[in-house]
Structure 1
Amino acid sequence: MTNAAETSPTPVDPDAPAARPLSPGAFVQSDSALAGRLVERLGRIEVLLDEVVAQASALPDETCHHLLRAGGKRIRPVLVLLAAEFGTSDQIDVDRAAAAVELIHLATLYHDDVMDEAPMRRGAPSAHAVWGNSVAILTGDLLFARASLLTSMMGPEAVRLQSETFERLVLGQLHEFTGPVDGADPIEHYLAVLGDKTGSLIATASEFGLRFSGAPESLIAPLREYGEKVGVAFQLADDLIDLVSDGAKSGKRPGTDLREGVPTLPVLHVRADAAAGDPAAAAVVELLDADLSSDDALERARAALVAHPATARARQVAEAWAEDAVKALAAVPDGEVKDGLIEFARTAVSRVA
């Protein structure tokens, strides 16, 4: 691992243009008027992100742009913009909100990669692998600060909402780190962690879009519920992608979560089955608990877990969370925006190979 004083090459060209934002075709028909508006707004937000993270000093400027230029789906900004379609969407505070939620998300990635000792992120070396833990943590802090600057421009309600979301993000990370208390259900604990770490910010993205476009307040509750549930579904799907993908979608080697000892839902299911007396599950657990430092051992454990019914059940749980997110939209007006939200919820799970 390098530190700031060393001269490792930067894996992302600092002079490269801002990353291309997610195509709105993932949410709405690509030839629709709504898609055209989203493309235009996302382009503006990419420019705003690039400007907001800029620093006068070379090192922090480089580190703050690192993950921004590495790409990303920009899911949270898109959800801000979609929710804003229920009001007057072309508002500067909507753009600020979309940029702020992406900066908060990016900041958590810098911190998570340090805690997880993850070597890669978005197909590039993680910041801590390039510059060391201290620089990566401080860069995450800088991005949180810039997100706070944006929300302060939006007024006290935005600051309150960001603060409450930030608290849930931190508590979710702490609860993941400490694990369930004695006697608690590990699966319930894990789902609650996902609600805090992923669902909370997606729910906030939806609320930001509504509040700062002047949309009806009656839409806040259903869209927040949608965001909470679709966030859990999305993260459950990510857990499965780590097991079954070729690495192109996740940007990391399949089975990385297993090697790092992350208790994802398939693992929790198979451990519960083993504890209940399932010999096939016990055999999988034995492989999971072995030394997974070698690629062969990791692949044996990964393949065995994928083949066990625990993984199929985990996918069913992800699908159920996605459908619950769709049901939360019952009170939302019909139309292209609602259809886009439904499509995103279902695509969040169907993207699993």
Structure 2
Amino acid sequence: MNSSETLPLSPGTGWAARLDDALHEAVTVQDADLGRIAGGLIRRGGKRLRPRLLFLAASLGEADEALLAHAAAAIELMHVGSLLHDDVMDGAATRRGAPSANSRWGNTHAATTGTHVLACAMAELAHLPHEAVSAVTEAAFTLCSGQLRETEHVYDTELAADEHLEIIRMKTATLFGLPCRLGAELAACDPGHAEALFRFGQQLGIAFQLTDDLLDLVGDPASLGKPTGTDLRAGVFSYSVLLALRRNPSGRLAALLRHENLTEQEAAEAAGLVRLSGTVDLTRELVRTHTDRAATALAGLPEFPGRDALADMPRRIAGRMR
């Protein structure tokens, strides 16, 4: 099959291999340092949820195989570039179970590589139709605005829970909704179906981030690939933490979190206080609300090859909380 042919893309047609080829080709540059740092993070893989969402959504219609690979690579590179910048800003020591780029190469190299990766994402967009480029560009603006808002509220013990959820929508859910809509649009799907897939992706992204934040409080460091309490020490307070602070704004938890540079022991104490507050269960309930909304958005769509795999994603996210 040549790259100009269309196909009803099923979950088992080798999308991961095509994506890997596109990613490695995209970040290959003459500068050895940039290529080594970017390639190292890409080789460690990660969940690749966002490209998978795009390919699965595209299976609702018929799409050009090469076009999907370029779109998926652009979205994954946006994600990887944002991770590199995030790690610099948070002072993260690990990423995907290995030393982070900033801890290994220094903040300057890591930030520059993050910018390089984002430039590679923009280069991938050159292969896409104008409407697709506009959608990705708008998503990039939303992602950056969400990151800025999160940065403005670092160590903010008075951050409203609703504002925190809006940051999640902007910073995380954007890159879940985008591939769902973009995959459907590149596959020439009905606009109503593309909108339903976008809603599915957004709700899935919110549930995913809430769960990820929750695991920073209650998860197993070995399975997470990073130590717990990372967000607390970085001053990025999750939904459970903010609810616990509202319940007792002048208690020990607030006293701990009002100063920077928590020790591991202080972060562990703060996490324990959040668990004792009962807000972890409230977060679990909110995750279930968003996974149910994702399932509802998907339920109105006709049968298509990727539907079962998409339907399994909210269930897996809910299962991570156990």
Q: TM-score, with normalisation over the residues of structure 1?
A: 0.82
Q: Does 1:327 align with 2:296?
A: yes
In 2: Cα distance, 1:72 partner to 1:140 partner: 16
Structure 1 residues without counterparts, runs of 5 or longer: 1-32
Match for residue 350 of structure 1 among 308, 312, 319: 319
Q: Quick one: higher RCO (CA 8 Å, sep 6+), 1 or 2?
A: 2
Cα offset, 1:105, TM superposition = 0.4
1:97-127 CA-to-partner distances (Å, cap 9, x unmatched) read: 1111111100000111111111111111111
Cα offset, 1:286, TM superposition = 4.1
Cα offset, 1:316, TM superposition = 1.1
**Residue 175 to residue 289, structure 1, CA distance change in 2 (3 Å):** closer
Match of 1:93 in 2: 67
Structure 2 residues without counterparts, runs of 5 or longer: 1-8
In 2: Cα distance, 1:336 partner to 1:210 partner: 13
Q: Give the partner amino acid of 2:266.
A: A
In 2: Cα distance, 1:59 partner to 1:261 partner: 31
Match of 1:9 in 2: none
Cα offset, 1:352, TM superposition = 2.3
In 2: Cα distance, 1:198 partner to 1:296 partner: 29
In 2: Cα distance, 1:321 partner to 1:241 partner: 17
Q: Does 1:197 align with 2:166?
A: no
Match for residue 337 of structure 1 among 290, 295, 306: 306
In 1: Cα distance, 2:294 partner to 2:175 partner: 15
In 2: Cα distance, 1:153 partner to 1:164 partner: 17
Q: Does 1:271 align with 2:245?
A: yes
Match of 2:36 in 1: 62
Match of 1:177 in 2: 151
SS at match of 2:224: coil
Q: TM-score, with normalisation over the residues of structure 2?
A: 0.90
Between 1:47-56 and 1:168-177, the stretch displaced more is 47-56
1:149-205 CA-to-partner distances (Å, cap 9, x unmatched) read: 11111121122111100000000011111239x9x9711110000011111111111
Q: Does 1:41 align with 2:15?
A: yes
In 1: Cα distance, 2:259 partner to 2:90 partner: 19
In 1: Cα distance, 2:159 partner to 2:112 partner: 35
In 1: Cα distance, 2:310 partner to 2:127 partner: 28
In 1: Cα distance, 2:195 partner to 2:105 partner: 42
Cα offset, 1:135, TM superposition = 1.6
Match of 2:233 in 1: 259
Q: Give the partner amino acid of 1:36.
A: G
In 1: Cα distance, 2:248 partner to 2:305 partner: 46
Q: Give the partner amino acid of 2:76.
A: E
Contact 1:80–1:209 at 8 Å: present in 2 too? yes
Match of 1:312 in 2: 281
In 1: Cα distance, 2:10 partner to 2:141 partner: 34
In 2: Cα distance, 1:137 partner to 1:316 partner: 37
Cα offset, 1:55, TM superposition = 1.0
SS at match of 2:221: coil
Cα offset, 1:287, TM superposition = 4.8
In 1: Cα distance, 2:84 partner to 2:235 partner: 19
In 1: Cα distance, 2:260 partner to 2:115 partner: 35
1:60-101 CA-to-partner distances (Å, cap 9, x unmatched) read: 111111211222000001001100101114521111111111
In 2: Cα distance, 1:179 partner to 1:261 partner: 8
Cα offset, 1:337, TM superposition = 2.6
Contact 1:120–1:251 at 8 Å: present in 2 too? yes
In 2: Cα distance, 1:347 partner to 1:321 partner: 13
Match for residue 221 of structure 1 among 195, 199, 206: 195
SS at match of 1:175: helix
Match of 1:150 in 2: 124
Match of 1:113 in 2: 87
In 2: Cα distance, 1:273 partner to 1:312 partner: 14
Cα offset, 1:297, TM superposition = 2.9
**Residue 292 to residue 145, structure 1, CA distance change in 2 (3 Å):** closer
1:39-60 CA-to-partner distances (Å, cap 9, x unmatched) read: x121111121111111112111
Contact 2:11–2:306 at 8 Å: present in 1 too? no
Contact 2:59–2:305 at 8 Å: present in 1 too? no
Identity %: 33
Q: Give the partner amino acid of 1:160.
A: S
SS at match of 2:226: coil
Q: Give the partner amino acid of 1:317.
A: L
In 2: Cα distance, 1:177 partner to 1:293 partner: 18
SS at match of 2:126: helix
SS at match of 2:300: coil
In 2: Cα distance, 1:285 partner to 1:185 partner: 12
